[in-house]
Structure 1
Amino acid sequence: MIDAPGPVVVITGASSGIGRETARAYARRGARLVLAARGAAALETVADECRALGAAVRTMPTDVSAEGEVRALAAGAVAEFGRVDVWVGNAGVFSYGTFEQTPARVFRQVIETNLMGQVHGARAVLPYFRRQGAGTLVLVGSLYSRVSSPQIAPYITSKWGLLGFAEVLRAELRGTGIRVRVVLPSTVDTPIYQHAANVTGRAVHPLAPAASPRRVARAIVRAPRRRRFASPVGLSQRAVVPLHRLWPAGYDTLTRFSKRRLELRGSDVELTDGTVFDPPAHAAPTTGGWRPPVARVTLWGVTLAAGALAVSARLRPASSAASRQSSR
C-alpha cells in the first residue's frame, strides 16, 4: 500500500476532456488518484502528467458500462490506498441524430455509459463510504439534465435520469456522512463532440459559448466542500432554463433552429459510431478547439440576454393576470 498524503480520489473518464483536467487539478492538490477509462495507453499518459505534479497514481482500465469492472475499480482503489474519499463519475459518450435515425445499439450504449455507469459507480463505492462513515460522490451531469434539445435523445435521456438518480441518493443518504454532489456544465470545450456518434450526415459545431474544462474541474474539486447540491457551470446558457420551463413552444422553436443552423452544418459527412463503443487509441486533449474569439462570445451573450429579456417580458403579463385572478 502506498503511503501518501491527501484524499483518495477515483475519477472515471479520466483520459480526456473534463476527466483529464480534473485529474491534473487534484494532482496539484496532493491527492492520491485512481484513474479509470477504457484505454490503457491513454490512462498512462494522464497518469504520467499527474505523477509529474507529485501525485501518487494508479490506473485501472475500466468500461463503466460493465458493472463488474466498476466494482473491481472500487475494490482496487481501496486495496491500493486503504479508502476512497471522493468518487468522480465523469465517463460519458455522445451521439447526434434524430431518435428514429439513431441505431438502437447506439442509443442503448449511451444510456449504459452515461447513466448506468454512474449507477454502477454508486453501487460499487457506497459500501466503502458507509464503512468509513464519510465520502463524497460527485456526478458530472449537464445543463441537459434540466433542459432538452432535438437530435441528441440518448444523451438527454441519460442526463435527465442521472439528475433524478442523484436526487434520490441525496435523500436516502442524508444524515449518513455521505455527500452527493452534481456538477451541471453547459457546453464545454472538450473532444466529446469530435468523438460523438453521428448519423446526421452533417458536421458538428457545439453551441457557443464553450466553457473551459478547467472551470468544470474547479467545480468538481470544490463540490465536496460545498453545501450546494448542484453546481452549474456556464452562466449564459443557463438563461434558457426558465424559457424551457415557462414557454416550451418557444424553447422548442429556438432549439430546432439552433440545431439546423448552428450546431449541425454542411452535408456528406461520413456516418460514424465515434467512441461510443471503442475508445480512442491515444489520450485525447483536454480541449477540443471549440472556444470562439472573445467578440463572438460577447455577441452570443448579448443575443441570449436579449432573448431572455424578451421572454421575461412576454411572460410577465400572463403572470400578472394570473396573480390578479387569484386575488379575486
Structure 2
Amino acid sequence: MKNLQDRVAVVTGASRGIGTYIAKELAKEGCHVVLAARTVPALEGLAEEIRGMGRRALPVACDVADADSRRSLVSAAVAEFGRIDILVNNAGIEVTAHFEDQDDEELDRIIRVNLIAPMQLTRLVLPGMLERKRGHIVNISSLAGKVPVPYSSPYAASKAGLIAFTEGLRAELQGTGVSASAICPGFVADAGMYADWERETGTRASFLAGTVKPERVARDVVKAIRKNRPEMLQFWLPARPTAVLAELAPGMFEKIYPIFGVKKTYEKIADRRREEKRKAQQGAAAG
C-alpha cells in the first residue's frame, strides 16, 4: 500500500509506549487514526495532536482481551470512517517473573492479549479489506519471538506465535491486495515495557543488548506497509544475523548468548517481583 493519504488506520495500545509513536507516524503519512486503549481520557491528548496535523482522530475505549470490546472498536471505526484500511495490533503485556511463580490467570491473560486478540481483531477487519482488495495488518511482535528470553517465556511464546500467525496469514492473502507484516523490536528506549522497568526498578539493558528508539519502530511500521515487508527487526546490533544464528545454530547461540547480559537483566526484575510478592503475602497473613 504505497499511498497512505486518507487511509484509515486502527492502532491498539495507542495511549502509551510505541503505540503513541506509531499513531503519530501514520498521521504524518496522511492517515486518519482510530486510537484504541482501555480508557479514552488517556487518548485525548494524542487525538488533539493528530488533529493538529490536519488528520482526523477517533479515541475509542477498548480492552482487546474482551470480545465485545473488540467488536465495539471495529464498529466505531467503520461508523466514523466507513472502512478500515490498516490495523496495527500493538497492544500487549509482558510479565517478567520466575515461570513457577506465574498463576493460571496471568498466563491466560498474556496469551489472550498478545496472541488471541490480534487474531480476533484481524478476523473482524479482514472481510472488508478483502472486499475492497486493499488493506494491511501490522502485528507488533518482539525480538523475544526470535531469540531466547529467560524469565519471560510466556510472553516470548505469545510473540513467536504472533510471528507464525503473520507468516501464515500473509501466505494465505497473496494475490488479494491485502497483506500482513510483523514488527519485532528489541528493548525500546523511552517507551513501553522497557521504560517501565527502568523507571520502576532502575534496571537497564546491558551495553551489548542495547536499545532502539521508538521513532525507529514507528518508521518501520510505515515502511512495512508501504513496501509490503513480511518482517522487520529492530535491534542495535545486526538483528537478522542474530536471529538466524539463534534459529539455525541454537547450541552455538546458547554459548554466546550470556555476553549480551539479557539473562541478568531479566533475572533482576524477576527476583524483585518474587520478593514483592513474598512481602505482600506476609502482609496479608499478618493482617
| TM-score relative to the length of structure 1 | 0.74
C-alpha distance in structure 2 between counterparts of 1:263 and 1:153, whole Å? 11
- 1:265 is aligned, of 263, 268, 275, to 268
Per-residue CA deviation, residues 189-242 of structure 1 (Å, 9 max, x unaligned), is 12313557xxxxx76434531100000000111212113211122250624323
Deviation at 1:158, TM superposition (A): 0.4
| Unpaired runs of at least 5, structure 2 | 278-287
Residue 41 of structure 1 aligns to which amino acid in structure 2?
P
Relative distance call for 1:205 and 1:7 in structure 2 (3 A) is: same
Relative distance call for 1:246 and 1:222 in structure 2 (3 A) is: closer
1:93-108 pair list within 5 angstroms: 93-108=93-108
Matched, 1:67 2:67: yes
| Unpaired runs of at least 5, structure 1 | 197-201, 273-328
1:214-253 pair list within 5 angstroms: 214-236=215-237, 238=239, 239-253=241-255
SS at the partner of 2:100? coil
SS at the partner of 1:232? strand
C-alpha distance in structure 1 between counterparts of 2:164 and 2:272, whole Å? 38
C-alpha distance in structure 1 between counterparts of 2:192 and 2:230, whole Å? 27
- Whether the 8 Å contact between 2:149 and 2:263 is mirrored in structure 1 is no
Per-residue CA deviation, residues 142-192 of structure 1 (Å, 9 max, x unaligned), is 112222211101111100110111111112111111111111112211231
Per-residue CA deviation, residues 259-281 of structure 1 (Å, 9 max, x unaligned), is 45344438656637xxxxxxxxx
Deviation at 1:253, TM superposition (A): 4.9
| TM-score relative to the length of structure 2 | 0.83
- Whether the 8 Å contact between 2:211 and 2:236 is mirrored in structure 1 is no
C-alpha distance in structure 2 between counterparts of 1:229 and 1:268, whole Å? 37
Structure number with larger C-alpha Rg: 1
- Whether the 8 Å contact between 1:204 and 1:264 is mirrored in structure 2 is no
1:1-328 pair list within 5 angstroms: 6-189=6-189, 190-193=191-194, 195=196, 204-206=203-205, 208-236=209-237, 238=239, 239-255=241-257, 258-265=261-268, 271=276
- Comparing 134-143 and 257-266, the one that deviates more: 257-266
Relative distance call for 1:96 and 1:128 in structure 2 (3 A) is: same
What's the % identity of the aligned pairs? 33
C-alpha distance in structure 1 between counterparts of 2:24 and 2:151, whole Å? 33
Residue 36 of structure 1 aligns to which amino acid in structure 2?
A
- Whether the 8 Å contact between 2:205 and 2:262 is mirrored in structure 1 is no
Deviation at 1:98, TM superposition (A): 2.2
Relative distance call for 1:116 and 1:140 in structure 2 (3 A) is: same
SS at the partner of 1:58? strand
C-alpha distance in structure 2 between counterparts of 1:193 and 1:235, whole Å? 15
- Whether the 8 Å contact between 1:23 and 1:33 is mirrored in structure 2 is yes
SS at the partner of 2:157? helix
Aligned-pair Cα RMSD in Å: 2.4
C-alpha distance in structure 2 between counterparts of 1:50 and 1:263, whole Å? 36
Deviation at 1:250, TM superposition (A): 4.3
Deviation at 1:107, TM superposition (A): 1.6
SS at the partner of 1:182? strand
For these two proteins, the number of residue pairs brought into alignment is 264
Counting helix residues as a fraction of each chain, which structure ranks higher? 2
